[in-house]
Amino acid sequence: MPTKTIKVDYLARVEGEGALSLKIRDGIVQDAKLKIFEPPRFFEAFLRDRDFAEAPDITARICGICPVAYQMSAVHAMENAAGVRVTGPLRDLRRLLYCGEWIESHALHVFMLHAPDFLGFEDAVAMARDHGDIVRTGLAIKKAGNAIVTLVGGREIHPINVRVGGFYKTPSKASLKKLSESLAPARDHVLSVLTWAKALPFPEFEADYEMVALRHGAEYPFNEGRIASTKGLDADAANYESAFTERQEPHSTALHSIVNGRGAYLVGPMARFAINKDLLTPLAKEAATQLDIEHGCANPFKSILVRLIEILFAFEEALRLIESFEEPDAPAIRVEPRSATGVAATEAPRGLLYQRYDIGENGQITLAKIVPPTSQNQKTIEEDLRGVAQQYVSLPDEELQWRCEQTIRNYDPCISCSAHFLKLDVDRGPNEAVQ
Partner 1 sequence: MTLRIIAVGNLNRRDDGAGILAARAFRRSFKGDIDVVESIAEPASLLTAWGDVDTVIILDASAPAGKPGRIRSIVVGQDPLPKETSAASTHAFGLASALELANALGEAPATTIVLTIEGEDFGYGEGLSQHVAAAISNFVQAITDCTQAIARKRTTHA
**Where along the sequence are the contacts to partner 1 (CB under 8 A)?**
13-15, 63-65, 108, 112-113, 123-126, 128-129, 132, 135-136, 139-140, 142-143, 146, 156-157, 416
Q: Which is nearer to partner 1, 111 or 240 (CB)?
A: 111
Segment (H or E) for 246: strand 244-247
State the minimum distance, in angstroms, from the CB of residue 110 to partner 1: 13
State the minimum distance, in angstroms, from the CB of residue 66 to partner 1: 11
State the minimum distance, in angstroms, from the CB of residue 223 to partner 1: 24
Q: What is the DSSP string of 382-420?
A: HHHHHHHHHHTTTS-HHHHHHHHHHHHHTT--BHHHH--
Q: What is the DSSP string of 299-360?
A: -GGGHHHHHHHHHHHHHHHHHHHHHT----SSSB------SEEEEEEEEETTEEEEEEEEE-
β pairing state of 18-25 and 422-428: parallel
Q: Which is nearer to partner 1, 268 or 363 (CB)?
A: 268
C-alpha–C-alpha distance, residues 199 and 118, integer Å: 10
Is residue 20 a contact partner of residue 37, using CB atoms and an 8 Å limit? no
State the minimum distance, in angstroms, from the CB of residue 179 to partner 1: 15
Q: Which is nearer to partner 1, 13 or 350 (CB)?
A: 13
State the minimum distance, in angstroms, from the CB of residue 428 to partner 1: 31
C-alpha–C-alpha distance, residues 346 and 411, integer Å: 18
Residue 75 CB burial class (10 angstroms; 0-12, 13-18, ≥19) = buried
Query: How many Cα atoms sit within 13 Å of 31 on the Cβ side?
Result: 18
Q: How close are the terminal C-alpha atoms of the chain, in Å?
A: 17
Q: Which is nearer to partner 1, 112 or 287 (CB)?
A: 112
State the minimum distance, in angstroms, from the CB of residue 108 to partner 1: 7
Q: Which is nearer to partner 1, 142 or 428 (CB)?
A: 142
Q: Which is nearer to partner 1, 156 or 294 (CB)?
A: 156
